[in-house]
Amino acid sequence: MDLDNYSLEELLLAAIKSEVESKDVYTRLAGKVDNAYLSDKLIFMAGEEQKHRDFLESVYRMKFRKDATLPVRSPVPLPEVNVKPGMVMASEVILQAMAAEKAASEFYGYMAGKHEFDDETKKTLNYLSSMEMGHYRLLELEKEQLNQQEEYEFEWEMMHAGP
């Protein structure tokens, strides 16, 4: 991902917008899955994305002395996660979310290394980068579990029919 042609303001706005969208995706997906354990994890991740947004907005206010006004479309091409209406295979959405989390990790690592921030902000951006990779790994484990479950339910569609 080549980010050298974007201003710091564009990068921060894209990061904030990405966190807003990620929170929304995790919240919507949590309401669609039947697995309560997975739903709880997704709600937790939505809360984490809100914390990331809050931090990034504070950095934006510190750097630009104004509140962030998010663009309709992100100026930086980051992977999007689309939850289509109706029946959706959770594993498909999680695969998209994994790509977005990995890109977010790289994005925050880039920002921490490339732009002038105070030490605390750099450390926090690097921490966000590692947290996003943690989200990626968590989603990876959930995807493997869902693949097995979806495969089993597809092969044995009457498994929940009862006696």
Q: 81-95 pLDDT, tens per residue?
A: 877 776 667 788 888
- Paired tokens of 146: 């869902």
Average pLDDT over residues 146-162: 63
For domain 8-155, give the CATH number: 1.20.1260.10
Q: 44-102 pLDDT, tens per residue?
A: 999 999 999 999 999 999 999 999 999 998 878 778 787 777 666 778 888 888 999 99
Looking at the chain, the whole-number percentage of residues with pLDDT higher than 90 is 50
Cα(89)–Cα(150) distance, integer angstroms? 8
- Residue 79 corresponds to which amino acid? P
41 has a pLDDT exceeding 60: yes
Average pLDDT over residues 118-124: 91
Coil, strand, or helix at residue 89? coil
Helix, strand, coil in percent for the chain, rounding step 5: 70, 0, 30
Cα(49)–Cα(1) distance, integer angstroms? 21
